[in-house]
C-alpha cells in the first residue's frame, strides 16, 4: 500500500485513538508543498477542512499538477485528508510563504492536540530553480532558507508550550534538521523528534558539530532505496524504505511502500551507494570556494541550455547543449554531473 491507502485505512481514527507515527510525518511533509497564500490561512488559524475548502475554490488539479510532482501529490493528499476524522479538524497556523530568485522557503504548523504540534518545512521538487539553493548547501552555511527555518523554529517553539515534531521532505528535511540543531537549547527540550524525509545531510563542519550531536538521538533520516537526494552531503544512519520506482522519482513520498502503518524496510541500492561514495569524494577534493564557483558555473550552463525542470534533460537538444556548456568545469565534477543524469533522468522515459 502507499500513503494514500494509509490515510484511507486509518482516517477514522483520531490521534487520541491512534498515536502519531512515521507515516503521519510524511502526510504533513507532503501538505507543505501547496501554496496557500490566497486562502485566509495567512490571516487566521483554521482547520485543514476549512483551508482545503478555500484552496480548492481557487486551484484546480489540472493547474497544480503542472507545477511539479510534489505539488501534484500534495493536492491529492489534501483531497484525501479533508475526508478524514483523523486530520480534517487539525488546526493549521503560522503559515509563511517566502519565495524569490535566491530563496525558496515555506513553513506551517499543525496542531495535533494540546500537547503536540508538527512543524512542516516545504521542500524542493523537480523545478530546476529550486535546486540551485540546494546545491549551495555544499559550500555555504547557512543558506537563506536555513536561516529562515532557524528563526521560524525559535519563534514558534515555546519553552513552556506543547511538544513539537519537526519535519520536511527534500530540502524541507534538511531545514528541519538544521532548525532543530540551532533552536534555543532550552526550547530543544520541547522537540521530541526530527524527520528528514529524503533531504540532504550536512557539510562536514556542521556534521561534526556539538549542535548535531545534541539533536542526533531525536533525528530520523528516511530515504528510499534508490535515493539520489537524501544521500547528498554528509549523513549518518539511514532508515531505508522500499519504493515502486528505481530512479529520481523514488524521491516522491507517494512511491514509498507501506505495510499497515509501517514503512517497508529495504537497503540502499548499489548505485545509490556508489553515488554517495562519489559525492563524498567530490566534497573532499574541493574547497568551499571551488564548490561555490562550480555551482555558479553549473547553473549558468543549465540556464543557457534552457533547462527549467528535470524533464527538460530528456530533450536531446537541451541535454547535449548542457554537456557542451559544462566543458570548462573540472573533469571530476563533470563526470559526477553526467553520472547523476545517466542514473536518474535518462531512465525517466523508460519507466513512464
Per-10-residue mean pLDDT, the chain, length 352 = 98 98 98 90 83 94 89 97 98 90 86 97 73 83 95 97 97 98 97 97 97 98 95 95 92 97 96 90 89 83 74 68 78 75 47 41
Distances (CA, A) of 69 to 81, 104, 251, 311: 18, 17, 10, 11
Is 103 strand, coil or helix? strand
- Cα separation, 251 vs 200, in Å, equals 12
Q: What's residue 325's pLDDT?
A: 77
Burial of 101 (0-12, 13-18, 19+ CB in 10 A): exposed
Give yes or no for a contact between 20 and 165, defined as CB atoms under 8 angstroms apart.
yes
Q: Three cell numbers at 340?
A: 547523476
Instruction: Say if domain 3-272 classifies as CATH 1.10.10.
Output: no
Amino acid at each position: 500500500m502507499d500513503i494514500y491507502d494509509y490515510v484511507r485505512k486509518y482516517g477514522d481514527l483520531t490521534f487520541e485513538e491512534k498515536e502519531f507515527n512515521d507515516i503521519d510525518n510524511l502526510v504533513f511533509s507532503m501538505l507543505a508543498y501547496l501554496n496557500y497564500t490566497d486562502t485566509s490561512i495567512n490571516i487566521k488559524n483554521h482547520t485543514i477542512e476549512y483551508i482545503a475548502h478555500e484552496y480548492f475554490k481557487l486551484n484546480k488539479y489540472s493547474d497544480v499538477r503542472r507545477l511539479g510532482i510534489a505539488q501534484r501529490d500534495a493536492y491529492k493528499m489534501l483531497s484525501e485528508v479533508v475526508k478524514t476524522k483523523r486530520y480534517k479538524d487539525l488546526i493549521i497556523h503560522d503559515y509563511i510563504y517566502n519565495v524569490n530568485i535566491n530563496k525558496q522557503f515555506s513553513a506551517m504548523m499543525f496542531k495535533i492536540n494540546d500537547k503536540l504540534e508538527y512543524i512542516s518545512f516545504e521542500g524542493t521538487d523537480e523545478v530546476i530553480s529550486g535546486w540551485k539553493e540546494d546545491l549551495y548547501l555544499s559550500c555555504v552555511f547557512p543558506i537563506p532558507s536555513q536561516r529562515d527555518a532557524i528563526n521560524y523554529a525559535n519563534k514558534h517553539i515555546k519553552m513552556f508550550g506543547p511538544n513539537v515534531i519537526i519535519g520536511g521532505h527534500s530540502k524541507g528535511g534538511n531545514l528541519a534538521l538544521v532548525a532543530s540543531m540551532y533552536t534555543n537549547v532550552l526550547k530543544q527540550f520541547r522537540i521530541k523528534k526530527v524527520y528528514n524525509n529524503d533531504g540532504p545531510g550536512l557539510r562536514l563542519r556542521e556534521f561534526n558539530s556539538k549542535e548535531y550531536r545534541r539533536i542526533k538521538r531525536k533525528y530520523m533520516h528516511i530515504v528510499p532505496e534508490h535515493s539520489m537526494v537524501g544521500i547528498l552531503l554528509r549523513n549518518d544512519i539511514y532508515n531505508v524504505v522500499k519504493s515502486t520506482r528505481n530512479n529520481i522519482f523514488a524521491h516522491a513520498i507517494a512511491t514509498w511502500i507501506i505495510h499497515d502503518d509501517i514503512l517497508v524496510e529495504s537497503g540502499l541500492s548499489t548505485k545509490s551507494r556508489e553515488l554517495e561514495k562519489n559525492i563524498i569524494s567530490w566534497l573532499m577534493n574541493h574547497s568551499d570556494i571551488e564548490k561555490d564557483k562550480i555551482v555558479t558555473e553549473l547553473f549558468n550552463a543549465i540556464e543557457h541550455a534552457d533547462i527549467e525542470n528535470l524533464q527538460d534533460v530528456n530533450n536531446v537538444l537541451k541535454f547535449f547543449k548542457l554537456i557542451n556548456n559544462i566543458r570548462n568545469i573540472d573533469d571530476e565534477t563533470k563526470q559526477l554531473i553526467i553520472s547523476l543524469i545517466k542514473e536518474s533522468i535518462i531512465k525517466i522515459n523508460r519507466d513512464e
